[in-house]
Amino acid sequence: MASGYGLAGGPSRCFPFWQDLLACYVVNTTADDVSGGKKCLPVMEDYYECLHHKKEATRTRALQHAYRRAIAAHPREDMPPPGTIRSLGLLGKEDDTKAVLESEKARK
């Protein structure tokens, strides 16, 4: 990634952000005075977000939490009972299976 080349040989996904950060530092700092680098904090923040996706992950967690809270506050009226969900309606139906098999035998 530091070379600027991605896995497929082209530029990496964050290389444009790195170029913006580098350009900001070149324009705002000198060899004697590096205090102009403070102007580059928003650009550096964008570069770090591209690398690590911290803000995106935080936003995603907040959205998931809000979604789960909304679902818990307003449950579905037509939700099947938990036993049906676990068994998909297949387990605990031995009597029905026997009745179906017996009716098929009677047809033959």
Instruction: Say if pTM beats, i.e. exceeds, 0.75.
Output: no
Give, as one character, the DSSP assignment of residue 32.
Answer: S
Q: How far is CA 70 from CA 35, 61, 64, 73, 82, in A?
A: 47, 14, 10, 5, 20
Closest alpha carbon to 5 in 21, 23, 18, 20: 18
d(CA 39, CA 30): 13
Write phi, then psi, for 93 (nearest 5 degrees).
-120, 30
d(CA 93, CA 85): 14
Give, as one character, the DSSP assignment of residue 80.
Answer: P
The one-digit pLDDT tens for each residue of the chain (108 residues) are 456 677 788 888 899 999 999 999 999 988 888 888 889 999 999 999 999 999 999 999 999 999 999 988 887 787 766 666 555 556 667 777 778 778 877 877
